[in-house]
Amino acid sequence: MTIPTKTARYRIGITLGDINGVGPEVVMKALHDSRMLNLITPVVYGSARVLSFYKKMLGLDDFTYSQVKSPGQFTHKNVNVVNCWEEVIEINPGKPDAQAGKAALLSLKQAAADLKNGVIDALVTAPINKQVIHGTDFPFRGHTEFLASYFSISDYLMMMVSEQMRVGLVTEHIPLKEVPLLISRDRIQTRLLIMEQTLRREFGINKPRMAVLGLNPHAGDGGLLGAEDDQIIKTVVDELKNKGKLVFGPFPADGFFAAGQYKRYDGILAMYHDQGLIPFKVLSFENGVNFTAGLPVVRTSPDHGTAYSIAGKNQASEASMRQAIFTACDIVSTRRENAGQN
């Protein structure tokens, strides 16, 4: 992915995420580059007070922004800030607490509402702490599940995308012991079809080649190490292949990445979180982006977490956040081109 050349100055909403994590830092650093303001109209959801706090802490003296007074009244070539809460919430870099979780949720809800109402063209979410944000108002395992529920989507796909690869997940944020229970023919087929549509619609690949990883070591080793690979995963692959889809596998995950086979495919479907994300982050940590496929809207995020250990220390890299913004622009542009809007 490269810097977009045709963004039509898209209105990109960006949440600050957990205000005690690296979210505010990577957002501010990404938007501090004047070239970014020539590409997009950034709309930051959070608090001007938070930006002022980190501006001083990080020494970003020339970082400027304006506060949005009326919904949708944004200033071009400037960072626009939507204040999502009025009360004073303490900022303690590196320390998770419930108030930071409350702030993150308020920012996310306001941004999601504006996204649904067309006030912004895409949403980029900074990392949250799932433990401090979780509760009756947020009974979800993360951004992906929240947004799927908010937009009433039952079938979606968490994808990690970079210049090196695109990885989708059959199961997302669940305990490892529950993974085999959710490996079904319908679930795998649904996610493969979402991946194919996404590779076509969002990434402009007319005939995408998709690889499917096995669940068990050695993809089951002919049934010796588990029946799921032959009886479930391979069955789906064969059915879709017979329908003209370029689907291959199941592949043993270790050899697939070690031998560089991932380079031959436009998309890779992993069975569970770490199976896909460990190799992805090893190969693409600086430029990796999380993209929620299957939504009627565009949402991306960096591929890292809150990183409390370095929060407020001016050590966080904004590379993944910058790439998440570029990716959001690219996807909005490709979608509109396909719909004849650009």
Same domain, 26 and 135: yes
Give the SS3 label for residue 278: helix
**Tokens encoding 335:** 């979608």
Same domain, 183 and 197: yes
**Tokens encoding 172:** 């997302």
pLDDT band, residue 340 (cuts 50/70/90): low
Same domain, 86 and 161: no
Same domain, 142 and 277: no
Examine the fold and report which residue of 278, 294, 310 is the final residue of a domain before the chain moves on.
294
Note down the domain range covering 131: 1-153+295-342
Same domain, 300 and 290: no
CA atoms within 13 A on the CB side of 181: 5
Same domain, 115 and 177: no
Closest to 234 measured CA to CA, from 185, 182, 267: 185
Question: What is residue 296's predicted lDDT score, i.e. its pLDDT?
Answer: 95
Write out pLDDT tens, residues 182-223: 999 999 999 999 999 999 999 989 999 999 999 999 999 999
- 12, β-bridge pairs: 42, 122
CA distance 317 to 324: 13
pLDDT at 4 over 70: no
Same domain, 148 and 97: yes
Q: How many domains does the chain have?
A: 2
Question: What is residue 1's predicted lDDT score, i.e. its pLDDT?
Answer: 44
User: What angle, 0 to 180 degrees and rounded to 10, lies between the N-to-C axes of helices 185-201 and 319-338?
Assistant: 80
CA distance 83 to 245: 47
Same domain, 208 and 188: yes
CA distance 244 to 50: 52
**CATH number, residue 56:** 3.40.718.10
Same domain, 238 and 132: no
Same domain, 66 and 94: yes
CB 39 within 8 A of CB 4: yes
CA distance 232 to 311: 44
Same domain, 165 and 128: no
Examine the fold and report which residue of 254, 273, 294 is the final residue of a domain before the chain moves on.
294
Examine the fold and report which residue of 294, 318, 333 is the final residue of a domain before the chain moves on.
294
- Percentage, residues of the chain above pLDDT 90: 87
